[in-house]
Structure 1
C-alpha cells in the first residue's frame, strides 16, 4: 500500500519544477485512503529546462507584431513590463496584476501562430508559475464567461509542429486540468496527441509525458478516457515493457499504471489485453529501489481486489506466489507493504487450492506462458477436458494455435504436443477445426525445426492427426 511517504519524484530533480496540487480523487473509501495524501506531482526534466532557458534568451519583435495587427499596444506594454525581469520582479508584478496577465497569456496563446512567439509566451507563463503553482488558478478565474478557455488555447498549440510548444502546452494543460473540477471536454484529443508522444525516440519527452499521466490519472474519469483512446494503452504498455535504465522513470511508469488499476474495467482487462503481470513480476525482481517494488505490489493488490477472476490464475502462471513468498522474508520499512504482500500470498494460496486443473491450463493459454506443467502430460486431463477447447467458438483452441508462431522453442514444443492431444481426443470434428485454423499445416512445417524437441512433438502431433483420420 502506498502513502505520502512514497514521493512521486526524487528530490534530485531540477530546482525549478512545475508543481500541481492535484484535487482529491472522487473514489471509494479504500482508494481514497491510498492516495488522499499524494498531492504533488512534479512535471520537470533538465531537457525541458534547457529549452526554456534557450528560448528565454531569444528576442521577439513584439513591436513588429503590433504593426502587423497580431497584438495590440496594451499587450506589448504588458509583455515588456515582465520580459527579462528577475524572478523577484516577476513575483511582485504578478502579486498585483496576475489575473490580467493570465487573461492576456490565454489570449496570446489563442490568437498567435508563429512558433517563436508562442514559444516565448509559454516561457513567460512558466516564469509566472515559477515557485507559485497556485497561480494556475488565475487562468481559471480569467476564463469565466469565456467559452473554450482556459483549455482551448493550449489544445490549439498542440497542433503546432514544434517539440517545445507541444510538451510545454501539454504540461500546462495537465496543471489546468488537475486544478479544477471542470472537465476538459477535449481530453480525448489530448490523449490522442500523447499517444504519439509516447512513441517518440526522445526518452526525455517520454518521461515528461509519463509524469503528465501521473498527474492526470489522479482523476478517475481521465483514466477511463485514456484507456478508451485508440492505441494509447499500447503506447504506454510498450514504454513499460521496454524498460528503462533510470529507476525514477520506471517508478513513474508503474505509478501511472497503479492509478489506472483503481478502475474496475481496466483492472479486469489489463492483463488479458497486455499480459502485464509477467512484466511487473520481472520489474519487481530487478528493481534497485524499494519504492518500485512497493508500487508493483500495490498494483497486484488492486488487480486481485478489483478483478480476482481475471487475474489470480494469471498470477499463478507467472509464478507470483513464490516471488511474493520471497518478498515476505525481506525487511521492509513500511508495514503496509508487509500487509499487502501477505494479502497477495493468502489470496494466491486460496486460489491455488480452488482452481481446477483446467483453469490453470486455460490461464497458461491466455497468457501465452506454456510450460511442462502436469496438465500437458496427463492423458486423463485430455480425455476429460479436450472438448472444452471448443467452448466460446473455439476460443482456447485458437489461442493454442496462435502459439505455433512463438519464437520460443519450449512453447512451440508444448503447443505441438497439446494440438496432438487435441487431435487424439477431439472427436470427429477435430481434424476439420485444426485444418481450418491452419494449425495442421503449421505443425507439419515445424517437423523441420532446428530444435529436436520441437521436431519430435510436431512429428508426434502429425501422426496423431492422421491416425485420427484413418
Structure 2
C-alpha cells in the first residue's frame, strides 16, 4: 500500500514484536511492561493508564522514536501518540512533565547536522508522508503546550541540572517554520501537504516569536494565493485556517507592511463578500478591524466598497456576538475614514488601485481647481500611473476615465500641455483613438484636442 495514504487506524492494526527490541536493548524491561499494558487496549483503559502514569508512557514513546529506525515501528508509535493527543490535546502537557526535565522530547523529531550549524528535522524531512504529517501535528501540539513563565517561555532542554545540551525551543520553532513554508511551496503530498501546513500554522502563529520567524522566512506571500472564495467543505476549512493565519499575522507590524503591498486586502474583501460560513466571515472581519487604522488600509477598504459590504453583513442573521460587535466597530471606523479622506485622497486611492470609474469628483470643476497642484507630488506620480493604466488596463471604463482625467489636467494646470508632452503621453492616447469602445475613443479624442489645440479651444469641442 502507498504509505502516503496510510491512516492511523490501519497502522494501529499492526502487531509490533516489542520483545525483539528488548533483546537488542533498544527497549528496557520496564518499557516493555508499560507497552504490554497499553498496546491493543480499549480507549478507556489507555486513558486511565495515561491519567495514572502519563509521563512514563511519554518517555517510552520518545525513546522508541529516538532509538528505533524501523519505519513500521516509527509509524506505529507516531499513530499511538496521535491517537492519544487527538482524544485529549491537553495530554501534550505530559511531554513537559517535571519528571522528564532531562529527557529531550523534541530530539526524536530532530537530528543536528554539524555542517553550517543547521538543524534538520529527521522525521519531518526524511520520513514518508505519514511520518511527516504525524510528526508535524504532534510536534506543533507539544510546542504549543510547553509551560510559560512571567519572564517568557520555558524551553525544553534548559533545565539547570541538565548536563547534556538538549534541543532548544528556538531550534524547534525555526525548523518547524522552515518545513511548513517548504510544504506551502512544494507539498510532499499533493492534496494534504498544504492543508496540513496551514492547520499547524494556525496553531503556531498564536505565538509572537513564530509570527516573526514566519515573516522573516518570507512566508506571508505563500498565504495570499490561498485567500479566495470556495465552495467545498474541505476548501472552506482551508480558507478559514488561512484567514485565521492572516488574522494572527495582523498583530505583527512587519507582516502588516507586507500585507499592505500585496493583494491580500482585495482578496479578503472578495471572500467576505461571497462567503456564507460564519466562522470565515468572523475571522476576516476581525482582520479588517485590526488593519483599519494601519497605513492606507482604511482608505483602501473604502475604495474597495467595504462600507457597503458591512451594511449587507449587518442585515444578516449571525449568532456570533463577537462578529456583530466587530461589524459595528468596523462600520464606525470606516465612517471615520470616509470623513478624514479629502477628495484628493479618495481620488489618489482610486488611481493607485487602478479602479477608475465615473465618480463625481472626475467631472467636478471645483475638484480640479482646488487640487490641481496636488498632481505635482512625487514627480507627478498620479499622472504616471494614469499613463500606466492606459498602457495596461483592459477595462474600457478605466481607459476612458484615464483619458478624461489627463485632459482635465491639461486644461487646469498652467503648464499642463508641456508636462503631459514631457511624459510622452501623446503616443499612448493616440493608440486609444482606435479603441472598440465609443466611450474610450471619445475621451481619447478630447485629450488629443487639448494637447494639440490648447485648453480654451478644446473646451468647445467637449461633448
Q: What stretches of structure 2 of length at least 5 have no aligned partner?
A: 112-120, 156-168, 455-463
Kindly indicate whether the alpha-carbon contact (under 8 Å) linking 1:268 and 1:310 is maintained by their aligned counterparts in 2: no
The reply on whether 1:367 has 2:353 as its aligned counterpart is yes
- Whole-Å Cα distance in 1 between the matches of residues 450 and 170 of structure 2? 59
* Alpha-carbon shift at residue 222 of structure 1 (Å): 2.0
Distance 1:72 1:361, change over 3 A: same
Partner secondary structure for residue 206 of structure 2:
coil
Query: Alignment partner for residue 338 of structure 2, among 352, 362, 368?
Result: 352
* Number of the residue aligned with 1:258: 247
The reply on whether 1:77 has 2:32 as its aligned counterpart is yes
Distance 1:220 1:249, change over 3 A: same
Provide, for residues 233-260 of structure 1, a one-character-per-residue CA deviation record: whole Å limited to 9, x for no partner: 2221211126453244433333332222
Distance 1:130 1:400, change over 3 A: same
Kindly indicate whether the alpha-carbon contact (under 8 Å) linking 1:365 and 1:396 is maintained by their aligned counterparts in 2: yes
The reply on whether 1:164 has 2:153 as its aligned counterpart is no
Kindly indicate whether the alpha-carbon contact (under 8 Å) linking 1:90 and 1:127 is maintained by their aligned counterparts in 2: no
* Alpha-carbon shift at residue 334 of structure 1 (Å): 4.4
Indicate the structure (1 or 2) with the bigger Cα radius of gyration.
Answer: 2
Distance 1:214 1:86, change over 3 A: same
Provide, for residues 214-248 of structure 1, a one-character-per-residue CA deviation record: whole Å limited to 9, x for no partner: 21222233223223322x22221211126453244
* Number of the residue aligned with 2:165: none
Provide, for residues 290-336 of structure 1, a one-character-per-residue CA deviation record: whole Å limited to 9, x for no partner: 333333322222222x52x4211111101111222233344444454
The reply on whether 1:405 has 2:392 as its aligned counterpart is yes
- Whole-Å Cα distance in 1 between the matches of residues 429 and 124 of structure 2? 50
Alignment of 1:18-97 (within 5 A): 51-58=7-14, 72-74=26-28, 77=32, 81=36, 82-97=38-53
Aligned length: 412
Provide, for residues 46-67 of structure 1, a one-character-per-residue CA deviation record: whole Å limited to 9, x for no partner: x999622233335567777788
Kindly indicate whether the alpha-carbon contact (under 8 Å) linking 2:92 and 2:141 is maintained by their aligned counterparts in 1: yes
Structure with higher RCO (Cα < 8 A, 6+ apart): 1
* Number of the residue aligned with 1:236: 223
Partner secondary structure for residue 253 of structure 1:
helix
Query: Alignment partner for residue 145 of structure 2, among 179, 190, 210?
Result: 179
CA RMSD of aligned residues (A): 4.0
- Whole-Å Cα distance in 2 between the matches of residues 411 and 257 of structure 1? 31
* Number of the residue aligned with 1:40: none
User: Which stretch has the larger CA shift, 106-115 or 204-213?
Assistant: 106-115
**TM-score normalised to structure 1 length:** 0.71
- Whole-Å Cα distance in 1 between the matches of residues 397 and 132 of structure 2? 46
Query: Alignment partner for residue 184 of structure 2, among 198, 201, 210?
Result: 198
Partner secondary structure for residue 72 of structure 1:
coil
- Whole-Å Cα distance in 2 between the matches of residues 108 and 417 of structure 1? 74
* Number of the residue aligned with 2:74: 118
Distance 1:90 1:446, change over 3 A: farther
- Whole-Å Cα distance in 2 between the matches of residues 254 and 421 of structure 1? 42
* Alpha-carbon shift at residue 337 of structure 1 (Å): 3.6
Provide, for residues 351-379 of structure 1, a one-character-per-residue CA deviation record: whole Å limited to 9, x for no partner: 22221122112222343333232344456
Distance 1:128 1:325, change over 3 A: closer
Kindly indicate whether the alpha-carbon contact (under 8 Å) linking 2:220 and 2:255 is maintained by their aligned counterparts in 1: no
- Whole-Å Cα distance in 1 between the matches of residues 276 and 229 of structure 2? 17
